[in-house]
Chains A and B, each alone.
Chain A
Amino acid sequence: MSSTFTIHYFATASQYTSKNTESLPAPLKLSTLFDELETRYPGITAKVLSSCGVSLDGEYVDIEEDKELLIMAGSEVAVIPPVSSG
């Protein structure tokens, strides 16, 4: 069985990908996450990801400052668009 991590999409990110969740190959360097998503969903970086946060296993990560971080098999990533509670 291949190694994967889970990625969850919300709001505009789920609209763009037409998915709530999927599995992507692990390990993956955090710095290449947006490139990986851009390959799968052309245009997503400019239209959606540029205004999104990212969490890894329940903690926010910084795509630039934490770029050496590896997303390991079994990890849970979430793409967090601007929020709209209330």
Chain B
Amino acid sequence: MTSTEPTLPPHLDPRTYPRHYHDPTKNIHLTLTYNPLDANTYLSETASPAAGANVLFLGTTRDTFEGRSVSQLSYTAYPPLTMKTLTTIAETAVETHGLEGVSIAHRLGSVPIGEASIAIAVSAGHRKAAWRAGEEVLEACKEKAEIWKREEFVDGRMEWRANADRDSEGRLLGDKAV
């Protein structure tokens, strides 16, 4: 190693992860990690004797994009902004739906096909608030969280994705829809 070698900025260095944020009063847990996501961890973070409804969402990596075979996906984040954005999303959900807890975890780096890239757990007194909050938190993350997905195709090409191009059913939106 020489001093002229460019150093990796901290947000791209896996050794600076996992990064956690925890707000005990609102029972908010945030995680950015290069390790596999463990669903039970996030369910136990949001578990509460006051909760009658516990919802878990796992977003897993898909092996195709528009019919083309995806060989690998990887994610990068910019925690100085990502953590702030996720905090706002979680706080809004707690206040709007009176949640007992919310946990948002995102995996970074390479994520093998079929494994979870995002996990969201919410708990509430009753199921309606939990279902709704789970969906709202996910949609807000997709829209705002400063995390980027790169798809590598079996033909060797790589493309960065933008969530704004598609709706929650995978349909193309706006001027990209023809």
Report yes or no: B163 in contact with A84, Cβ–Cβ below 8 A.
yes
Partner of A81, one of B117, B141, B148: B148
Q: How far is the CA of A58 from the CA of B80 in the complex (A)?
A: 6
Residues 1-48 (chain A) with a chain B CB within 8 angstroms: 6, 8, 10-12, 15, 20-21
Asked whether A50 is an interface residue with its Cβ less than 8 Å from the other chain, the reply is no
Interface residues of B toward A: which range?
A: 20 to 34
Report yes or no: A86 in contact with B78, Cβ–Cβ below 8 A.
no
Q: A82-B163, A85-B145, A86-B118 are in contact. List 17 more A-B contacts (CB 8 A).
A: A10-B76, A20-B8, A55-B78, A58-B81, A58-B84, A80-B146, A82-B165, A83-B143, A83-B145, A83-B148, A83-B162, A84-B160, A85-B117, A85-B148, A86-B59, A86-B142, A86-B163
Give the interface of A toward B (CB within 8 A). 6, 8, 10-12, 15, 20-21, 55, 58, 60, 76, 78, 80-86
- What are 27 pairs between A and B in contact, CB < 8 Å? A6-B9, A8-B9, A8-B11, A10-B146, A11-B76, A12-B160, A20-B12, A55-B78, A58-B84, A60-B81, A78-B81, A80-B81, A82-B164, A83-B142, A83-B144, A83-B146, A83-B148, A83-B162, A84-B161, A85-B75, A85-B117, A85-B118, A85-B141, A85-B149, A86-B59, A86-B141, A86-B142
